[in-house]
Structures are given as C-alpha cells and as structure tokens.
Amino acid sequence: MAVRRASRDTIVWGFVVAFLLLAQWPMLKGRYYQWRGTPAPASAIAWRTDHAAALAESARTGKPVLVDFAAGWCPPCVTMNHEVWPDPEVAALVARDYVPLKVDIDAHPDLADRYEVAGIPSVIVVNASGRVLRKASFLDAGGIRQFLSE
C-alpha cells in the first residue's frame, strides 16, 4: 500500500512540475536568450514607434493598429522578439492587415495607462480612434497568427 501511494505521489508531483515548467516556458526561454546575449533575428515587420502617426496611418489606410507593448528586460517579450515577430507568416499577416506599433512600456507609461496594460508582453489591436478591439498576452507564433486572423 505504501509503495502504491509513493508511486501515485510521484506521478502527481511529476504533473505539477511539468505544468509549472510549461507555464514558465516563455520566461525560461527569454532568460536563456538574455543570458546568451543572442540578438533577435531580423523581423520583416516595419514597426512604427510613434503612436499618433500610427493612428493617423490607420485612419488613412483603414487598417487597425497592432500595438506590441514590451520591454528589453522582459523575458517573454524577448522570446516573442526571437520566435514570433520574425516568423514569415506573422510578418505577412501584419503587413497585409495592420499598422504595427511597438511601444517600450518604460518609455511610454502613459500609453500603457491609456490602454490599461496590466502586464507585458501585451498585444493590442486598436482602431484609428484608439478604441481597443482585442487584447492578448504572450502568444507563440501559431497563437499570434490565430489572433491576427480573428
């Protein structure tokens, strides 16, 4: 009986540890990229950095603005810069359907407040007047492709 209980406890703890590793995977990968000093691959996305200009371009083109709130010290943001934004399918979707805007949350806390950003990375789609249409947090390349296609 004691052996059976120990075996069951081992299995339960194995699932707990696996779940925690899975939940923290973007953080762990981002820390690894930071530790290695590995620069992110070049992204084909022509990120804008001026909020007002991005909204004006949105009004002109009819495309919503895709806002990526991030920071260089944020491991999941680093992971997205390495694995999501350089993805060719993601870049094609962004170029076709969105005005991309990258916001450094440390440099623009006013925008984070305006869009009620509670944590980073935050990916937000807004219309030309700045009204939020959709929000997401960390997503892998497949997840962001689905988010962009909604």
The pLDDT profile of the chain, 150 residues, written as one tens digit per residue, is: 555 666 777 766 655 554 544 555 676 777 777 777 878 788 889 999 999 999 999 999 999 999 999 999 999 999 999 999 999 999 999 999 999 999 999 999 999 999 999 999 999 999 999 999 999 999 999 999 999 998
Q: What is the pTM of this model?
A: 0.82
Residue boundaries of the structural domains of the chain: 1-150
Q: What is the pLDDT of residue 13?
A: 63
DSSP string of 56-103, one letter each residue: HHHHHH-PPEEEEEE-TT-HHHHHHHHHTTT-HHHHHHHHHH-EEEEE
Q: What is the pLDDT of residue 6?
A: 61
Order the strands of the 99-104 sheet from edge to edge.
99-104, 65-70, 122-126, 132-136
Q: What is the pLDDT of residue 69?
A: 98
Q: What is the pLDDT of residue 34?
A: 75
DSSP string of 15-62, one letter each residue: HHHHHHHHHHHHHHHHHHHHHHTPPPPPPS---B--HHHHHHHHHHH-
Report the C-alpha gap between 24 and 7 in whole angstroms.
26
130: alpha, beta or left, given left = phi > 0 and alpha = psi -120 to 50? left
The architecture of the domain spanning 1-150 is 3-Layer(aba) Sandwich (3.40)
Q: What is the pLDDT of residue 21?
A: 46
Question: What tokens were used for 117?
Answer: 């950003």
